[in-house]
Amino acid sequence: MVISRGFQPDHQRHRRETMPAARQERQDLITWAGHQAVLLVDYLGNMALFLLEAGRTLAHPPWFVRETILQMYHLGVKSLPLVLVAAFALGMVLAMQGLKVLSWFGAGNYIATLVGLAVTRELGPIIAGVMLAARGGAGMGAELGSMRVTSQIDALTVCAVNPLKYLVVTRILACMLTLPLLTVFADLIGILGGLVIGVSQAGMTVSSYYYLTLKYLKLRDILPGVAKTVVFGLIVGTVGCFHGYFTRHGTFGVGQATKTAVVVAILFILISDVFLTKLTLLFWG
Protein backbone atom coordinates (compact mmCIF):
# COMPACT_ATOMS: atom_id res chain seq x y z
CA MET A 1 0.00 0.00 0.00
CA VAL A 2 1.44 3.33 -1.09
CA ILE A 3 0.69 6.51 0.88
CA SER A 4 1.29 9.82 -0.85
CA ARG A 5 3.62 12.30 0.82
CA GLY A 6 0.89 14.91 1.22
CA PHE A 7 -1.57 12.55 2.93
CA GLN A 8 -2.17 12.88 6.69
CA PRO A 9 -4.43 10.77 8.90
CA ASP A 10 -7.70 12.43 9.98
CA HIS A 11 -6.71 12.81 13.65
CA GLN A 12 -3.47 14.61 12.75
CA ARG A 13 -5.21 16.95 10.31
CA HIS A 14 -7.90 17.70 12.93
CA ARG A 15 -5.22 18.53 15.51
CA ARG A 16 -3.52 20.97 13.12
CA GLU A 17 -6.85 22.66 12.39
CA THR A 18 -8.04 22.94 16.00
CA MET A 19 -4.79 24.04 17.67
CA PRO A 20 -4.77 27.53 16.10
CA ALA A 21 -8.44 27.99 17.05
CA ALA A 22 -7.79 26.97 20.66
CA ARG A 23 -4.77 29.24 20.83
CA GLN A 24 -6.84 32.10 19.42
CA GLU A 25 -9.53 31.52 22.04
CA ARG A 26 -6.93 31.69 24.81
CA GLN A 27 -5.53 34.89 23.37
CA ASP A 28 -9.02 36.37 23.12
CA LEU A 29 -9.70 35.42 26.74
CA ILE A 30 -6.44 36.98 27.93
CA THR A 31 -7.15 40.11 25.90
CA TRP A 32 -10.66 40.37 27.33
CA ALA A 33 -9.41 39.86 30.90
CA GLY A 34 -6.72 42.49 30.42
CA HIS A 35 -9.23 44.94 28.97
CA GLN A 36 -11.60 44.40 31.90
CA ALA A 37 -8.74 44.89 34.36
CA VAL A 38 -7.83 48.19 32.70
CA LEU A 39 -11.46 49.33 32.84
CA LEU A 40 -11.67 48.37 36.52
CA VAL A 41 -8.50 50.27 37.41
CA ASP A 42 -9.72 53.27 35.44
CA TYR A 43 -13.11 53.13 37.17
CA LEU A 44 -11.62 52.88 40.65
CA GLY A 45 -9.09 55.60 39.87
CA ASN A 46 -11.76 58.00 38.67
CA MET A 47 -13.84 57.33 41.76
CA ALA A 48 -10.84 57.89 44.03
CA LEU A 49 -10.05 61.19 42.30
CA PHE A 50 -13.70 62.18 42.63
CA LEU A 51 -13.60 61.47 46.36
CA LEU A 52 -10.32 63.34 46.83
CA GLU A 53 -11.61 66.34 44.92
CA ALA A 54 -14.75 66.38 47.05
CA GLY A 55 -12.71 66.03 50.23
CA ARG A 56 -10.53 68.99 49.30
CA THR A 57 -13.55 71.28 49.43
CA LEU A 58 -13.84 70.71 53.19
CA ALA A 59 -10.77 72.86 53.77
CA HIS A 60 -12.69 76.09 53.26
CA PRO A 61 -16.15 77.33 54.31
CA PRO A 62 -19.06 77.21 53.80
CA TRP A 63 -19.71 73.69 55.06
CA PHE A 64 -23.49 73.52 54.50
CA VAL A 65 -24.28 72.06 57.92
CA ARG A 66 -28.02 72.48 57.45
CA GLU A 67 -27.93 70.61 54.15
CA THR A 68 -25.91 67.82 55.78
CA ILE A 69 -28.50 67.48 58.56
CA LEU A 70 -31.27 67.44 55.97
CA GLN A 71 -29.52 64.65 54.08
CA MET A 72 -29.05 62.73 57.33
CA TYR A 73 -32.81 62.80 57.72
CA HIS A 74 -33.56 61.76 54.14
CA LEU A 75 -30.86 59.10 53.89
CA GLY A 76 -30.68 57.82 57.45
CA VAL A 77 -33.91 58.39 59.33
CA LYS A 78 -36.10 57.38 56.40
CA SER A 79 -34.08 54.18 55.99
CA LEU A 80 -34.62 53.20 59.63
CA PRO A 81 -37.91 51.27 59.08
CA LEU A 82 -36.28 49.11 56.41
CA VAL A 83 -33.30 48.41 58.65
CA LEU A 84 -35.49 47.47 61.61
CA VAL A 85 -37.69 45.08 59.63
CA ALA A 86 -34.70 43.40 57.96
CA ALA A 87 -32.78 43.10 61.24
CA PHE A 88 -35.76 41.66 63.11
CA ALA A 89 -36.44 39.09 60.39
CA LEU A 90 -32.81 37.99 60.10
CA GLY A 91 -32.47 37.83 63.87
CA MET A 92 -35.39 35.42 63.98
CA VAL A 93 -34.05 33.34 61.09
CA LEU A 94 -30.60 33.15 62.68
CA ALA A 95 -32.14 32.05 65.98
CA MET A 96 -34.25 29.35 64.33
CA GLN A 97 -31.33 27.92 62.38
CA GLY A 98 -28.94 28.19 65.32
CA LEU A 99 -31.41 26.61 67.72
CA LYS A 100 -31.69 23.53 65.54
CA VAL A 101 -27.92 23.05 65.42
CA LEU A 102 -27.30 23.83 69.10
CA SER A 103 -30.07 21.48 70.18
CA TRP A 104 -28.06 18.58 68.76
CA PHE A 105 -25.50 19.22 71.50
CA GLY A 106 -27.97 20.05 74.24
CA ALA A 107 -26.95 23.71 74.19
CA GLY A 108 -30.17 25.31 73.00
CA ASN A 109 -30.04 28.02 75.67
CA TYR A 110 -26.87 29.40 74.13
CA ILE A 111 -28.89 30.61 71.17
CA ALA A 112 -28.89 33.98 72.96
CA THR A 113 -25.10 34.13 72.86
CA LEU A 114 -24.97 33.04 69.22
CA VAL A 115 -27.48 35.65 68.09
CA GLY A 116 -25.87 38.42 70.14
CA LEU A 117 -22.37 37.83 68.79
CA ALA A 118 -23.42 37.19 65.19
CA VAL A 119 -25.67 40.23 64.99
CA THR A 120 -23.29 42.72 66.59
CA ARG A 121 -20.19 41.47 64.80
CA GLU A 122 -21.55 40.98 61.29
CA LEU A 123 -25.27 40.91 60.59
CA GLY A 124 -26.12 44.29 62.07
CA PRO A 125 -23.47 46.25 60.13
CA ILE A 126 -24.16 44.37 56.90
CA ILE A 127 -27.94 44.79 57.15
CA ALA A 128 -27.65 48.50 57.84
CA GLY A 129 -25.11 49.01 55.05
CA VAL A 130 -27.06 47.07 52.44
CA MET A 131 -30.36 48.77 53.32
CA LEU A 132 -28.75 52.20 53.11
CA ALA A 133 -27.16 51.27 49.79
CA ALA A 134 -30.48 49.99 48.45
CA ARG A 135 -32.48 53.03 49.45
CA GLY A 136 -29.98 55.86 49.86
CA GLY A 137 -27.67 54.81 47.04
CA ALA A 138 -30.56 54.59 44.61
CA GLY A 139 -31.89 57.94 45.80
CA MET A 140 -28.55 59.71 45.40
CA GLY A 141 -27.99 58.22 41.96
CA ALA A 142 -31.45 59.19 40.74
CA GLU A 143 -31.47 62.67 42.32
CA LEU A 144 -28.03 63.76 41.17
CA GLY A 145 -28.56 62.09 37.81
CA SER A 146 -31.76 64.07 37.26
CA MET A 147 -30.00 67.26 38.30
CA ARG A 148 -27.20 66.54 35.84
CA VAL A 149 -29.39 65.86 32.80
CA THR A 150 -31.57 68.91 33.55
CA SER A 151 -28.48 71.15 33.94
CA GLN A 152 -29.24 71.99 37.58
CA ILE A 153 -25.66 71.14 38.56
CA ASP A 154 -24.39 73.57 35.93
CA ALA A 155 -26.76 76.18 37.32
CA LEU A 156 -25.19 75.81 40.77
CA THR A 157 -21.78 76.47 39.26
CA VAL A 158 -23.09 79.60 37.55
CA CYS A 159 -24.44 80.76 40.94
CA ALA A 160 -20.93 80.39 42.43
CA VAL A 161 -21.94 77.35 44.52
CA ASN A 162 -19.50 74.45 44.46
CA PRO A 163 -21.68 71.49 43.42
CA LEU A 164 -19.22 68.97 44.80
CA LYS A 165 -19.39 70.56 48.22
CA TYR A 166 -23.13 71.24 48.26
CA LEU A 167 -24.36 68.03 46.65
CA VAL A 168 -21.66 65.40 47.16
CA VAL A 169 -19.86 66.14 50.42
CA THR A 170 -23.09 66.68 52.34
CA ARG A 171 -24.44 63.30 51.22
CA ILE A 172 -21.23 61.41 51.92
CA LEU A 173 -20.99 62.89 55.41
CA ALA A 174 -24.66 62.10 56.01
CA CYS A 175 -24.08 58.45 55.12
CA MET A 176 -20.98 58.21 57.31
CA LEU A 177 -22.73 59.78 60.30
CA THR A 178 -26.06 57.97 60.12
CA LEU A 179 -24.95 54.44 59.26
CA PRO A 180 -23.32 53.76 62.68
CA LEU A 181 -26.57 54.85 64.33
CA LEU A 182 -28.59 52.61 62.04
CA THR A 183 -26.25 49.76 62.96
CA VAL A 184 -26.90 50.22 66.68
CA PHE A 185 -30.65 49.98 66.05
CA ALA A 186 -30.11 46.95 63.80
CA ASP A 187 -28.12 45.24 66.57
CA LEU A 188 -30.83 45.84 69.16
CA ILE A 189 -33.70 44.75 66.94
CA GLY A 190 -31.79 41.72 65.66
CA ILE A 191 -31.24 40.56 69.24
CA LEU A 192 -34.93 41.19 69.91
CA GLY A 193 -35.81 38.96 66.96
CA GLY A 194 -33.67 36.21 68.47
CA LEU A 195 -35.42 36.78 71.80
CA VAL A 196 -38.80 36.03 70.23
CA ILE A 197 -37.56 32.66 68.99
CA GLY A 198 -35.69 31.91 72.22
CA VAL A 199 -38.81 32.47 74.31
CA SER A 200 -41.32 30.88 71.94
CA GLN A 201 -39.33 27.84 70.74
CA ALA A 202 -36.43 27.28 73.16
CA GLY A 203 -38.49 27.70 76.33
CA MET A 204 -36.28 30.47 77.67
CA THR A 205 -37.41 33.37 79.81
CA VAL A 206 -36.74 36.96 78.86
CA SER A 207 -34.39 37.41 81.81
CA SER A 208 -32.37 34.27 81.05
CA TYR A 209 -32.08 35.24 77.39
CA TYR A 210 -30.70 38.66 78.18
CA TYR A 211 -28.45 37.24 80.89
CA LEU A 212 -26.79 34.86 78.44
CA THR A 213 -26.57 37.63 75.87
CA LEU A 214 -24.87 40.13 78.17
CA LYS A 215 -22.69 37.49 79.82
CA TYR A 216 -20.64 36.86 76.68
CA LEU A 217 -21.31 40.00 74.65
CA LYS A 218 -18.59 42.55 75.34
CA LEU A 219 -17.91 46.07 74.15
CA ARG A 220 -15.10 44.74 71.94
CA ASP A 221 -17.73 42.76 70.03
CA ILE A 222 -19.92 45.81 69.42
CA LEU A 223 -17.48 48.63 68.69
CA PRO A 224 -15.65 47.09 65.68
CA GLY A 225 -18.95 46.36 63.96
CA VAL A 226 -20.18 49.90 64.50
CA ALA A 227 -16.83 51.43 63.52
CA LYS A 228 -16.57 49.68 60.17
CA THR A 229 -19.94 51.07 59.13
CA VAL A 230 -18.22 54.44 58.82
CA VAL A 231 -16.33 52.89 55.90
CA PHE A 232 -19.58 51.41 54.57
CA GLY A 233 -21.15 54.86 54.72
CA LEU A 234 -18.21 56.32 52.82
CA ILE A 235 -18.66 53.64 50.16
CA VAL A 236 -22.41 54.18 49.80
CA GLY A 237 -22.12 57.95 49.61
CA THR A 238 -19.18 57.96 47.21
CA VAL A 239 -20.58 55.36 44.81
CA GLY A 240 -24.08 56.85 44.77
CA CYS A 241 -22.85 60.40 44.20
CA PHE A 242 -20.23 59.35 41.65
CA HIS A 243 -22.69 57.60 39.37
CA GLY A 244 -25.34 60.27 39.75
CA TYR A 245 -22.96 63.19 39.30
CA PHE A 246 -21.58 61.90 36.00
CA THR A 247 -24.86 60.72 34.50
CA ARG A 248 -25.22 61.04 30.74
CA HIS A 249 -27.77 60.19 28.02
CA GLY A 250 -30.92 61.64 29.55
CA THR A 251 -33.51 59.61 31.43
CA PHE A 252 -31.97 56.34 30.30
CA GLY A 253 -28.71 57.38 31.92
CA VAL A 254 -30.53 58.22 35.15
CA GLY A 255 -31.92 54.70 35.32
CA GLN A 256 -28.53 53.20 34.60
CA ALA A 257 -26.87 55.37 37.24
CA THR A 258 -29.43 54.36 39.84
CA LYS A 259 -29.08 50.66 39.12
CA THR A 260 -25.29 50.73 38.99
CA ALA A 261 -25.00 52.77 42.19
CA VAL A 262 -26.98 50.20 44.18
CA VAL A 263 -25.24 47.13 42.77
CA VAL A 264 -21.71 48.51 43.05
CA ALA A 265 -22.25 49.91 46.55
CA ILE A 266 -23.54 46.59 47.89
CA LEU A 267 -20.72 44.69 46.19
CA PHE A 268 -18.08 47.05 47.59
CA ILE A 269 -19.59 46.77 51.07
CA LEU A 270 -19.35 42.99 51.01
CA ILE A 271 -15.79 43.01 49.64
CA SER A 272 -14.57 45.62 52.10
CA ASP A 273 -16.20 43.71 54.96
CA VAL A 274 -13.83 40.81 54.32
CA PHE A 275 -10.77 42.99 54.90
CA LEU A 276 -12.32 44.98 57.75
CA THR A 277 -13.32 41.79 59.54
CA LYS A 278 -9.79 40.44 59.20
CA LEU A 279 -8.38 43.67 60.65
CA THR A 280 -10.79 43.67 63.58
CA LEU A 281 -9.98 40.05 64.37
CA LEU A 282 -6.26 40.85 64.34
CA PHE A 283 -6.47 43.87 66.61
CA TRP A 284 -9.63 43.23 68.65
CA GLY A 285 -9.90 39.46 68.74
Q: pLDDT tens digits for 107-161?
A: 888 999 999 999 999 999 999 999 999 999 999 999 999 999 999 999 999 999 9
- Domain count for the chain, please give it: 1
* Other C-beta atoms lying within 10 Å of the C-beta of residue 282: 8
Q: pLDDT at position 20, please?
A: 65
- Containing structural domain, residue 196: 64-283
Identify which has the larger pLDDT, 12 or 246: 246
**50 domain residue, yes or no:** no
**Cβ contacts of 76 within 8 Å, gap of 6 or more:** 132, 136, 174, 175, 177, 178, 179, 181, 182
**272 domain residue, yes or no:** yes
Q: Which H or E run contains 240?
A: helix 219-245
Q: pLDDT tens digits for 200-236?
A: 998 899 999 999 999 999 999 999 999 999 999 999 9
**135 domain residue, yes or no:** yes
**42 domain residue, yes or no:** no
**52 domain residue, yes or no:** no
**18 domain residue, yes or no:** no
**208 domain residue, yes or no:** yes
CA count, 13 A, side-chain hemisphere, 155 = 6
The span from the CA of 112 to the CA of 209, in Å, is: 6
